[in-house]
Amino acid sequence: MKSYLLRAVAGLCCIGALLAAVGGGATLDLILAGVLWAVALVCAFVSMGDGGHVALPWRKLDSAQNDYLREQFEKAEADCNALRDAAGETQDPALRAQLVRMDNVASNILAYLWQHPECILAARKFINTDQDKAVELVQRSLELEATNLQSADVQRARSDIQRTLDRFDEAYEADFADILKEEVMDIRADLAVVGQKHAADGLQSHGGMSSASAAKQAKSAADGLSPTVLSVTRKKRIVGGLLALISCGLGFHRFYLGQRLMGVVYVLLSWTTIPVIAGWAEGLRYLTMKNRDFYFKFCLR
């Protein structure tokens, strides 16, 4: 409903801009036309979607279960973002390195759950136990770090937290293995059936794959994203980069990626050259980013 309203406003602004532009050509008319065009463009971009979020491929479930799965995924997403933000805040190199290792595993889990939301129920230990405890410990460590105290008790507490967190990436991997357990069993069963059929037909496995298939699998593994997510992410990255380069400081790329507050800031400062330069820099950054980095920075938030 919100998107339809925004599109209606954009349409009315376009009509008003056309009427103002042909209404006599006075300076005030031209200024009004320009303002209406700007409002129309902003409304159009805001109505293009739900921000930078990629829609989850939810199965047709009853509404109560569907809402629960969404709530669980959004919680896991928020915790992952909180830990990533903490890695940028801490001045402790050991804590930062451990948070990066944890983020690598957690990001892959989220990418998998994005593609297989029915597995969210199997990820409850990761979402409601390990992630919760990790966020709690990291917040406590940041609070102790913010005190700038070097007393023995404070340093001991921070060391104890660090030793506990050092095992969390392994805990995440164990959680991921549990999530994949059922699918791995299904794969083994399917392979066994196929193998029996091939044996009955007198066929033998060559134990290899084509170079194209190998390259595709290597690319998917390197990005840590499913082919569907990778395709959508690449499109968003390219469109966002091009919008940043051609928006002339109006911040259309920010609206497209769901960062509406920053988009408004761009519009308010569009009379200066700062948004233009910043837009060019961000456009080049988007176009040169890795798809995996772009997905977890702009698509999940």
Q: What does pLDDT average to in each consecutive run of 10 residues of the chain (301 residues)?
A: 61 68 62 70 57 46 70 88 89 90 88 82 89 92 91 91 90 88 66 66 54 48 56 82 84 83 83 84 87 74 51
- Report pLDDT for 129: 92
Look at residue 1 in the predicted model and tell me its pLDDT.
44
Does the global pTM surpass 0.85? no
pLDDT of residue 163: 92
Whose CA is closest to 73, among 130, 133, 126?
126
Give pLDDT, residue 55.
Answer: 46
What's the confidence (pLDDT) of residue 198?
64
Give the pLDDT score at 156: 92
Non-local CB neighbours of 110 within 8 Å, separated by 6+ positions = 73, 76, 77, 80, 296, 300
